[in-house]
Chain A
């Protein structure tokens, strides 16, 4: 039972970590590459939100805060906290540059989740829970219902002043 509660808490923390950082860094504003544009417009066609679609497309096409969160969790589990998170941050940065992305979202996501994992470890929630939690968090955005998730992301983007101006 404690394990399930730990996974749920880790999933919620991971969800807020990557959604807020990715939105703040402007993923819903515009597609970074052509693939993200195609995904965003496909989501729009299926009744979703264009900004949310760009967000979903961008996190598929380059390692943003979602990948940073997952990689840092896995690296903290295998290498240790905080060294794993710091190493994950530079790996994500190099990955970003290879994917035509300046790298702010992924790197920031990796560093913030490292701090969160460090803090959560004091209440017994270790990096392993964050690996599972992040997988569950990303499923809610990419794996259940794209149009519905994109509408939620669109609303968050609007509140944070990051909604797309493209049509």
Chain B
């Protein structure tokens, strides 16, 4: 199987976006994992959703035509800041469980 250089470059870009989101998330003191049981937790952590958001936002920005390692790093940093300060305000946890 032949792996082209641009594929490796794209994979590196996504990895850099996640890495920069993780590093900034740690600096901003986001928890690494939500508390257990994870499947019922609403805690915003580094692994979920920050890393997933970093991948998705990077894909959007790349598809809009802005590519490169620097762009990926900026998207990762922005995602971590977004997850820490804005996500809970924009999409808050429901006030009460309905059932």
Residues of chain A touching chain B, judged by Cβ–Cβ distance below 8 Å, are: 24-26, 30-31, 33-34, 36-37, 79-80, 82-84, 86-87, 89-91, 93-94, 97-98, 100, 102-105, 107, 111
Interface residue SS majority, chain B: helix
Query: What B residues does A93 contact at CB under 8 A?
Result: 49, 52-53, 56
B56 touches A34 (CB 8 A): no
B52 touches A89 (CB 8 A): yes
B91 touches A86 (CB 8 A): no
A44 to B62 CA separation, bound complex (whole angstroms): 48
Query: What B residues does A104 contact at CB under 8 A?
Result: 38-39, 48
A111 to B57 CA separation, bound complex (whole angstroms): 14
A/B interface sample: 29 pairs, CB < 8 A? A24-B39, A26-B37, A26-B40, A33-B98, A34-B98, A79-B63, A80-B63, A83-B62, A83-B63, A86-B55, A86-B59, A87-B56, A87-B59, A90-B55, A90-B56, A90-B57, A91-B56, A93-B49, A97-B91, A98-B91, A100-B98, A102-B39, A102-B40, A102-B41, A103-B49, A104-B39, A104-B48, A107-B48, A107-B52
Query: What B residues does A83 contact at CB under 8 A?
Result: 59, 62-63
B56 touches A89 (CB 8 A): yes
A94 touches B91 (CB 8 A): yes
CB distance from B2 to the nearest CB of A (A): 13
A90 touches B53 (CB 8 A): yes
B77-98 interface code vs A (CB 8 A; 1 in, 0 out): 0000000000000010010001
B60 at the interface (CB under 8 A from A): yes
CB distance from B55 to the nearest CB of A (A): 5
Q: How many residues of chain B get a CB closer than 8 Å to chain A's CBs?
A: 22
B41 touches A111 (CB 8 A): no
Which of the residues B37, B39, B42, B56 comes within 8 Å of A86, measured between beta carbons?
A: B56
B52 touches A25 (CB 8 A): no
CB distance from B18 to the nearest CB of A (A): 11
B99 at the interface (CB under 8 A from A): yes
A100 to B62 CA separation, bound complex (whole angstroms): 30
A36 to B41 CA separation, bound complex (whole angstroms): 19
CB distance from B1 to the nearest CB of A (A): 9
B59 touches A111 (CB 8 A): no
B34-75 interface code vs A (CB 8 A; 1 in, 0 out): 000111111000001100110111111011000000000000
With most chain A CB atoms within 10 A of its CB, the pick from B57, B60, B62 is B60
B13-49 interface code vs A (CB 8 A; 1 in, 0 out): 0000000000000000000000001111110000011
